[in-house]
Structure 1
Amino acid sequence: MTKRFIFLPIFALASLLGGCAGYPRLVNYGYDPGGLSLNSSASELDPQISRRYIVFASDRRGSQDIYMFDTVTRTLVDLPGLNSFDTVASHPAVSENGRSIVFVGSRQGRSAIFLYDRETRQLRNLTANLQAEVRNPTISADGSRIAFESSVNGQWDIFVYNRSGQPLNVPQDPR
């Protein structure tokens, strides 16, 4: 029996997979060798999108930092006070309105979940009192809850915190 392969152009494949909403879609933003756009010659890691904003980690300035790109204005968003020279930042996520960004920050072999508020320009370590590794944060659409994985119990469990860094008791299905 002969196997047949069908090769489709990327736009045809995207339309087949996308369904009614038109997703996934191919976006095209220019390349900027100076690192002032979404695309650069540096590594762009862990991209996440929420409405008009794309957050990602990049080493374009010599250290791995978090960046935000506004798809409407097609520019990088200034994030004063977010990135620290002595912290490796990764795995960002952004609230629906783009006000809150969560990410993993690693310093001296220890990881923590950080929340950055773009309006107040404040950075908060949500897991300072948690003596364990943490990874893969995500944030609710309204920015009120942050979920992440933690190894505090010797295995990877999911924790949910509020934006003040307090654990939330999430009820479980009694089935």
Structure 2
Amino acid sequence: MSKITPSFWIQRQIPWGLSIALASFLVSCSYSDVPLGPTSLNSRYTEQQPALSGNSRFLAFVSNRNGSHQLLVYDLEQQQFIQTTGLNQRETIVESPSLSYTGRYIAYITSDQGRPVVALYDRATQQSQILTPTYRGWIRNPSISPNGRYVVFETASRGQWDIEVLDRGPDVELDIANGASVGASP
């Protein structure tokens, strides 16, 4: 019969003690002070592809927090979500948001008859429109100019990735900050 020595007990207790120390370290380094929930910016769901408005007030991102893939807009100043009626449609994918200066316009990728298209959501009118219905190639990575007139994106219509610039026209209502002159550069 072997004799149990004090060193035997120490060797058995060290791994257990290290486990407790590691666990307490991990708890002290957790994100428990980050607010989580349906009305906070962070949740326990996947949130990705963040885009910030030019004035740094609004944040748009893609989330699956409500059980579906959707584009959400968060007001960083008011610390609340912005109502985007008509933006997220059932069983429609939204990707790659881009915001104009005050976040009035949101350019994004969605699908139309199974093909990716660039769409534009106007928060003032709460309506979306497809900007690229006739493009036959693949489309990705839209970006809207700060004033909302131009939308650039990548397209593979020629068999390689090229950059397209879409001018929404001189009559579009520009997204400019209050007090800014209309002649300001885009």
TM more than 0.5:
yes
Larger Rg: 2
Code of the residue aligned with 1:43 in structure 2: it is T
Code of the residue aligned with 1:158 in structure 2: it is I
Q: Give the number of equivalent residue pairs.
A: 135
Per-residue CA distance 1:28-53 (angstroms, 9 max, x = gap): x94333x2221111111100112201
Match of 1:55 in 2: 60
Per-residue CA distance 1:68-120 (angstroms, 9 max, x = gap): 11110000110000111121111101001110001111355311111000001
Q: Does 1:38 align with 2:41?
A: yes
Q: 1:141 aligns with which of 146, 164, 185?
A: 146
Residues 43 and 108 (structure 1), Cα distance of their counterparts in 2 relative to 1, 3 Å cut = farther
Q: 1:76 aligns with which of 67, 75, 81?
A: 81
Supply the distance in 2 between the matched residues of 1:162 and 1:36 (Cα, whole angstroms).
36
> Quick check: which one's helix share is greater?
2
Residues 131 and 63 (structure 1), Cα distance of their counterparts in 2 relative to 1, 3 Å cut = same
TM-score (norm 1): 0.73
- Deviating above 3 A after TM superposition, structure 1's stretches of 4 or more consecutive aligned residues are none
Q: 1:150 aligns with which of 149, 155, 159?
A: 155
How do 1:1-150 and structure 2 match up within 5 A? Answer: 30-33=34-37, 35-50=38-53, 51-106=56-111, 109-150=114-155
TM-score (norm 2): 0.69
Runs (5+) with no aligned partner, structure 1: 1-28, 165-175
Shift of 1:64: 1.1
